[in-house]
Amino acid sequence: MAEPPTADERVLAVLRASGVFGSLEEPVLQDLGRFLHLQTIPGGAVVLREGEPAETMFFLVSGRLRVSRRDAQGVLQLYNEIRPGESVGEAGLILQQARAADITALRDSTLAMLGRADFERLLVLHPLALNKVFAQAIFNHLRHASQAVERRHAQIFVVVPLDAGTAAHEVAQGLTRACAVFGRAYQVPPDAQSMVDPSATGAWSGKDRYDDLEEQYDFLIYEADPRSLSWAKRAFRQADQVVFVARHDGPAATGELEHLLAREPGYEMKRKHLVVLHPADADMPAGLMHWRDGRDVERVYPIRSRHVGDYARLARFLHGKAVGVVLGGGGARGFAHLGVLRALEQAGIVVDMVGGNSMGALLGAQYACGWPLDEIRDRTVRFARGGERPTLPVISIVSGRRVERDLRRMFGERTVDQSWLPFFATACNLSRACTTVQDSGPLWRAVLASNSPVGLFPPVLHKGDLLVDGAILENVPVAAMRARLGTPLEKRRGNGTVIAIDVDVRDYMGVDPAWPRLSVRRTIQGYFRRGEPASPGIGDILYRASHIGGLHQRARTMVQADHYLEPPVASFALMGYGRAEKIAEVGYRYAMQEIERWTRPATRA
């Protein structure tokens, strides 16, 4: 068996793989490696602080670092990660600039440091070669170019039980199997404690078994154990992301191990999640919102024991591969959403989160409940045919009581967060002049608020605010989906894939130019006489007015989505609920063609 590489050999391997320093000739690399000093940094420790003088640069040999800053209000802003093989600080060292940001060790990390005095000695030995590569490094710095090298390093998760009775082993095992779809995955059990802890010795002890694992695998899943606090802390320090695990009927209060890890340095730098484990035969998850109280977690995941699909969804969210589908409003034309969803299912594209507005919220809520697509279509047709009673037009034209009653019957006492598939609905908050994302509370109320066109239906009251159909500001709520798929604290566009479906036809609303004004008589006659120029009624006018915002910002919404679908449904009437099956079929055929374009291999001309 080959001997493991020495410290010097590891540093040289990093230098050779560097996008900038790898261009140096071997004798220069050897001298550079000779002047580098290895330093071990425990996970959570601050490596560099913003504003400090730049007296050193370094190469990351192993581990993971995080770049961050705090804004003027003191709010933490997380930026990119620094991975093994990348260099940091060369521009500041040469230009003698102060540090531009904080850099914190996400894991126990080994750095190869180069101080200013050694840097100047190297320049005397190899002035031409080193000036060239350092000039390139400064050029990359000024262009914000990445020096990331093409070396594979594992993503590391730690599964932390909130109490001793929680089946953390099952979650770690399920997550490992789900991650294996994306690459090589390995579960690190809690009894693997024979490794040397660099933070205990204060000195770098060479390459250990866990460095080997990180190079051999794409995903490492550490399993913490509350009976071994030293192992839990060590596993936590190595992790990029933390997955807390609780039983659905267990205590929701923060536990001892959770408090212990929260005091570890670098806790706030790590992405944190919470899995709430349910029985395998659970019909629906318990309410999840109370699990967030007192916790800084990115997302709460309801998971059924040994349910492959639930673990697969968890892995996609953690790996940044989740798929979010956004359904816009558009009356009966919204049945095209069902056709698109059927096409996605047939293409093997699994939906990990669904959000919607208006008709999209009504259909999306049912889809999140797990109901079959044909059943959703039939339920919605019956719901739409229920009619609504006019009322004294002081607050609205119709009372909305029948719609509220039928939505209560449809969804019962289920809350928005009581579904295995995450769901949200949007509404326009008239009180605060913004879009409100409804991801908690009664499901029927969220759907009702999103389906209450301003002026036609009365606003839905929520904590004193007035909520109406969200199309006033955004009919296809892509921004809300993008925020929920991405990492909330990180300054980047977001992870995952957003598929937006827009069925709001942008047709022309006008009348005969010779008409001096709109006439009530002409409008009523238009309902019975075919072939005459259409005169818009109050329903048409209110609908168009309530969708102006969404239509106006359609271009911006399209840019935010990865795939923007516009099924050809202009020929269908806004109230054509009797043609639901046909509309869904149009959406299906259109989506199948679009999906084929997404998945078709690129060919050279």
| Six token digits for residue 564 | 């923007």
| Six token digits for residue 234 | 């060590």
- Per DSSP, the three-state class of 387 is coil
Would you tell me how many other CB atoms lie within 10 Å of the CB of residue 138?
15
Among the listed residues 102, 469, 502, 504, the single catalytic one is: 469
Is there a contact between 175 and 182 (Cβ–Cβ < 8 Å)?
no
d(CA 519, CA 531): 17
325 CB-near residues (< 8 Å, 6+ apart): 340, 341, 344, 351, 353, 354, 355, 364, 499, 500, 501
450 catalytic residue (yes or no)? no
575 CB-near residues (< 8 Å, 6+ apart): 331, 332
Distances from the Cα of 494 to the Cαs of 10, 317, 478, 479, 569, in angstroms?
34, 11, 12, 10, 31
Among the listed residues 358, 396, 450, 535, the single catalytic one is: 358
469 catalytic residue (yes or no)? yes
What amino acid is encoded at 603 in this protein? Answer: T
d(CA 504, CA 565): 11
Is there a contact between 226 and 257 (Cβ–Cβ < 8 Å)?
yes
* Biggest alpha carbon–alpha carbon distance for the chain: 95
Would you tell me how many other CB atoms lie within 10 Å of the CB of residue 531?
4
Is there a contact between 264 and 237 (Cβ–Cβ < 8 Å)?
yes
**For the chain, percent helix, then strand, then coil, each to nearest 5?**
40, 20, 40
| Six token digits for residue 283 | 């019909």
Task: Say how many CA atoms lie within 13 Å of 374 toward its Cβ.
Answer: 0
Burial of 394 (0-12, 13-18, 19+ CB in 10 A): exposed
Beta strand pairing status for 434-438 and 423-429? antiparallel
DSSP string covering 394-405: TS-SB--HHHHH
Distances from the Cα of 539 to the Cαs of 396, 458, 543, 574, 575, in angstroms?
12, 14, 6, 11, 11
Beta bridge partners of 390: 398
Q: Which residues are catalytic?
A: 358, 469
